[in-house]
Chains A and B, each alone.
Chain A
Amino acid sequence: MKSSIWNDATVSRRSVLQGIAAVAVVGFTGIRFGMSEALAAANDKYPEDAFKQKSEADAIKSLYGKTAEKSDKVKLDAPEIAENGAVVPVAVSSSLPDVTSIAILVTENPNTLAAAYRILPGAAPSVSNRLKMAKTSNVIAVVEAGGKLYSATKEVKVTVGGCGG
């Protein structure tokens, strides 16, 4: 008798746990679907979560939902040495066809994603801007072309940090 109660308790606790796990899986998949639909629709919503990510892999995944491969068709123009980390000129362009997006990440910054640009029909696959860099860091340019991601990386040495920007 005693043992059957014990068993019942075990079963019910297990089923509760399974229930929780099932809800978690369903919820997570739901969020994932929501994200990819939002990306596919290319709406003009600000990608808040991508800008909060600490690592470049997480930021790229949050922004595009996939990973990038290195390509020499992504051109990243940034100085070898930046005397002022508060204003580092960075330009990205690409010779790839069907470019739909360009993102720029600074790996040593508190949040790696610095800027993401949507290249709408008619716009050239090229952008220039100025970024802040906390310290010497790799700068990564990510280009989305034909639904795939390509990247280029360059190290920029910073002699005076840009957080005082």
Chain B
Amino acid sequence: MASTIRVRATASGDSTEVQALIQHPMDSGFVKNAKGELIPPHYIQQVVIEHGGKPVFIADWGPAVSKDPYLKFAFKGGKKGDDLKVSWTDNKGASDTLTAKIQ
């Protein structure tokens, strides 16, 4: 199965800009399906981005983050060709990880 994570990390000078797009339903628990039953909450709780084995950015999310979440941030110290590891875990204990190269 293809990864649920897509990452574009671009280094320019000392700063690396990271854009991540994750495929996830992000069900809030407030929405009903076609039969009128509530769809139980199913959402990503935490995204951790690591560079050089150390976390540089941690996102804690509630169900108010949109479906297929998008995240953009920047950090210093990354170089072209470095590995950047992105992992998420959701409220049902599912998770996914992707390691991308900084461009």
**Interface of A with B (CB < 8 Å)?**
44, 46-47, 51, 86-88, 91, 106, 109-111, 113-120, 122-124, 126-134, 162-165
CB–CB A114/B64 < 8 A: yes
Query: A44-B48, A123-B57 given as contacts; is B64 within 8 A of A115 (CB)?
Result: yes
In Å, the complex CA distance between A134 and B28 comes to 11
Chain B residues closer than 8 Å to A130, beta-carbon distance: 65-66, 69-70
- Which residues of chain B in 45-85 are interfacial with respect to chain A, using CB atoms and an 8 Å cutoff? 45-46, 48, 54-67, 69-77
Chain A residues closer than 8 Å to B66, beta-carbon distance: 86-88, 129-132, 162, 165
In Å, the complex CA distance between A132 and B69 comes to 10
Query: A44-B46, A114-B64 given as contacts; is B58 within 8 A of A127 (CB)?
Result: no
Report the minimal beta-carbon distance from B12 to chain A, rounded to whole angstroms. 12
In Å, the complex CA distance between A58 and B97 comes to 33
Query: A117-B60, A122-B56 given as contacts; is B67 within 8 A of A127 (CB)?
Result: no
CB–CB B75/A124 < 8 A: yes
In Å, the complex CA distance between A163 and B58 comes to 25
